[in-house]
Structure 1
Amino acid sequence: MDSAQLVAGVPMKWVGPVRISGNVATAETEVPLATYESPLWPSVGRGAKISRQVEQGIVATLVDERMTRSVLVEAEDAATAYAAARQLTERAEEFDKIVQTCSRFARLINVRHEITGNLLFIRFEFTTGDASGHNMVTLASDALLSHILQTIPGISYGSISGNYCTDKKATAVNGILGRGKNVVTELLIPRAVVTDMLHTTAAKIVQLNIRKNMLGTLLAGGIRSANAHYANMLLGFYLATGQDAANIIEGSQGVTLAEDRDGDLYFSCTLPNLIVGSVGNGKGLDFVETNLTRLGCRDNREPGENARRLAAIAAATVLCGELSLLAAQTNPGELMRAHIQMERKNETQRIGA
């Protein structure tokens, strides 16, 4: 067999549908999750079922979007580096024209910098249409770096990637400055639904969220993150939709917020570094094309709209799984029973086959 044709198969199921509204997507859609962790499917499914008990469903608000790449240049001293940095801010319009020669969709929206000693770290921020934009912004940054070295005196090449982006690493800078889509999801669940479908109370979930997600993560030294398991839902969704799976490292840095509103549960998940795209690498596979089409992310829209819709669906999927898990963990033994039942059932089916 030609090794180029080998594919690693990961079990996938569609769960839901999830009801979503907000400023970039209004939909009721099933979502695909590719995972070896089979209890994830019914867990997300339970959250999806709860979303349909509320008229608006999960409200997903796109707060910001940008893709970044940082480059590194070297100066003789800090004063020279600072003089170069001042020119960067003043010449943003000129730099954007260079970016537009590299791509039809990339646009430079900001330039930031950090000086350490004689080193100047430059962080370029772009919009990238429907692509997640990794290659697009690297190509644009390479062109910008060449232009800067030719037109700004006193600096020399350091690296095309200076790690101030930051790509596929858990850092604070992305949550502060943004990288990818910043999406906030919210769901207000009536008391009766919390009791009947989650088998818990708003007060218990609020207390667990504070103690586990916030205090527990603080004690563990978490970086701009307070959640139970965003990475589970993101990885499953990323693998099913052709995303760069390594981006769950920064993508899973997010904050869960829960409030008891007279017995009703306000539940929110904020994902400031959600990196997704509906075009680009990984999207040419048949199953990915099928999944994106079924999600409504292949419709003829303005550039960027398909990726924004995809981000809203991904973030809503995260909320479904986060809500279900926290509810389960308020009840002793519930989480382990679900895992044992699902995994033993799957093992029996595998052996029987």
Structure 2
Amino acid sequence: MSDAAELVDRVRDGEIALHELEAHADADTAATARRRLVADDTGTTLGTVGEYAIDAADAEPNIENMIGTVQIPLGVAGPLPVAGERADSEKYLPLATTEGALVASVNRGCAVLRAADGANARVTKRAMTRAPVFRVTDIVEAEAVVEWVRDNRDALADAAEATTSHGELVDVTPYAVGDSVFLRFGYDTKDAMGMNMATIATGEACEVVESETSAELVALSGNLCTDKKPAAINAVEGRGRSVTADVRIPNDVVEEHLHATPEAIAELNTRKNLIGSAKAGSLGFNAHAANVVAAAFLATGQDAAQVVEGANAITTVEAREDELYASVSLASLEVGTVGGGTKLPTQSEGLSVLGLRGGGDPPGANADRLAEVIAAGALAGELSLLGALASRHLSSAHAELGR
């Protein structure tokens, strides 16, 4: 095996390519060589990037051309009291972020939830989707394919589920657009986020469609899934997990902790999160749910790009006679506790803080619980920001924290 200096020389001589270093040395040596070469060629000091506690070999399934790691400050908010379908408990919510005042804001929201005897949360739908697109001759042929799919769902399920010991096909919805047919497959992927599982399973199902109909597969993903792009279909039909957290807050708790009346907070939510978002043509009708989703995703090893779907959230607030009702509904929260980035050492520790590392019992329980906790954290963040805006304390809070 070569040392780092030798590898750098061999790359410069054109003997091996930058992406081939792991074939000639262990993962840490390859990363060191690549980091030295990049630092030299760019005139950059990468000493901090090269200081990391993980074994580079652990990261090989998650990164290519590794040169080091980027460290993001990790904080906790809580305890966060949330009663879910899977368990009732108080959790410290790990949040990785570079945005000052975010953790403080969520932490204040957690105090509101504790004073209100906790939030409730429920996962209402589970369906990781993949939607291939097929070519047909015309709409007559498209209709025939659609009818075949509706009549042969069991055959598609048999093919798809043969590829996995955990995934379960729960839905196939056909869409015809001219001479294109889209099939939106939805899977219960248990404790995995399940994008790879859904893709592999759908590939097998597509072979059945092609063998039994006149449709020809054009692409395994036809963008009706919809993955990592703003899409109304995710806001309406959901993707991954659809989850809602809500709370009933006594009026005196609202005024003590949020320094505003329930009526003021309810009006603010209507004018800002509902009317303002509608005027903007937004797909998310909330104050900043993506802040909590992104920070929790980074802390627990989720796919960060899927924050796009995670921001598909609606915040509702109602001033009742003696209480304030508030909820956050996240239509397409894509989370898992096994696979992907959840296996990395620091991210698995983040899941361990929540008691949700690895597979759940029954399968899917841990991912459900993670979705419930993130939803409750988003609710805490919404309440805190709405309170800061209603009391006109937002700018002063940032100024006080020096952000």
What is the TM-score when the length of structure 1 is the normalising length?
Answer: 0.94
Match of 1:50 among 92, 112, 119: 112
Q: Which amino acid aligns with 1:280?
A: G
**In the alignment, which residue of structure 2 is the partner of 1:315?**
375
Residue pairs, 1:77-226, within 5 angstroms = 77-152=138-213, 154-223=214-283, 225-226=284-285
Runs of 4+ in 1 over 6 A off after TM superposition: none
- In 2, Cα distance between equivalents of 1:93 and 1:101: 12
Of 233, 253, 266, the match for 2:312: 253
**Counterpart secondary structure, 2:132:** strand
CA deviation string 1:8-48 (max 9, x = no partner): 11111011100000323311011000011120111000111
Code of the residue aligned with 2:352 in structure 1: it is T
Distance in 2 between residues matched to 1:177 and 1:219, nearest whole Å = 22
User: How do 1:290-329 residues align onto structure 2 when only pairs under 5 Å count?
Assistant: 290-298=349-357, 300-329=360-389
Task: Tell me, yes or no, if structure 1 residue 241 matches structure 2 residue 300.
Answer: yes
- CA drift of 1:175 comes to 2.1
Structure 1, gaps ≥5 residues long: 345-353
1:279 lines up with 2:338 in the alignment: yes
Aligned-pair CA distance for 1:5: 5.0
Whether contact under 8 Å (1:106, 1:126) holds in the other structure is yes
Rounded Cα–Cα distance in structure 2 between residues aligned with 1:52 and 1:144: 47
Counterpart of 1:342 in structure 2 is 401
Alpha-carbon separation, structure 1, partners of 2:175 and 2:372: 32
Unaligned runs of 5+ in 2: 1-31, 36-65
2: CA distance, partners of 1:104 / 1:167:
23
Compute the displacement of 1:263 (Å): 4.3
Tell me what 1:59 maps to. 120
Shift, 1:343, TM fit: 3.4
Distance 2:279 2:266 in 1: 18
Give the equivalent residue in structure 2 for 1:29. Answer: 91
Whether 1:18 aligns to 2:77 is no
Letter in 2 for 1:64: K
* Structure 2 Cα separation of the partners of residues 263 and 303 of structure 1: 40
Contact residue 203 and residue 263 of structure 1 kept, 8 A: no
Distance 1:327 1:142 in 2: 48
How far apart in 2 are the matches of 1:172 and 1:46?
32
Quote the Cα distance in structure 2 between the aligned partners of 1:343 and 1:121: 51
Distance in 1 of aligned mates of 2:300 and 2:389: 29
Larger deviation, residues 131-140 vs 142-151: 142-151
Identity of aligned residues (%): 36
Task: Give the conservation status (yes or no) of the 8 Å contact 2:116–2:253.
Answer: no
Amino acid corresponding to residue 326 of structure 2 in structure 1: F
Q: 8 Å contact 2:237–2:331 — kept in the other structure?
A: no
Structure of higher CA gyration radius: 2
Q: Is the 8 A contact 1:202 1:263 kept in 2?
A: no
Hey, what's the Cα distance between the residues in 1 that align with 2:252 and 2:141? 64
Name the residue aligned to 1:348.
none
Verify the 8 A CA contact 1:201 1:263 in the aligned structure 2: no
The alpha-carbon deviation at position 62 of structure 1 amounts to: 1.4
SS of alignment partner, residue 60 of structure 1 = strand
What one-letter code is carried by the residue in structure 2 that aligns with 1:19?
P
Q: Which moved more, 1:173-182 or 1:42-51?
A: 173-182
Name the stretch that deviates more: 198-207 or 300-309. 300-309
C-alpha separation in 1, matches of 2:301 and 2:136: 40
Measure the CA separation in 1 of the matches of 2:379 and 2:87.
16
Letter in 2 for 1:218: A
Hey, what does 1:270 align to over in structure 2? 329
Counterpart pick for 1:230 among 286, 289, 301: 289
Equivalent residues of 2:170, 2:186 under 8 A apart: yes
Q: CA RMSD in A?
A: 1.3
Q: Hey, what's the Cα distance between the residues in 2 that align with 1:37 and 1:84?
A: 50
1:337 positional shift: 1.6
Structure 2 SS opposite 1:105: coil
Distance, in Å, in 1 between the alignment partners of 2:373 and 2:142 is 43
SS in 2 for 1:243: coil
CA distance in structure 1 between the aligned counterparts of 2:183 and 2:156, rounded to whole angstroms: 13
Preserved CA contact (<8 Å) 1:82 1:115: yes
Q: Which amino acid aligns with 2:394?
A: L
Q: Deviations over 1:53-91 (max 9, x none)?
A: 123x11001111110000000011111011011111111
How many residues are aligned here?
340
Distance in structure 2 (CA, Å) of the matches to 1:310 and 1:202: 29
Local SS of the residue matching 2:402 = helix
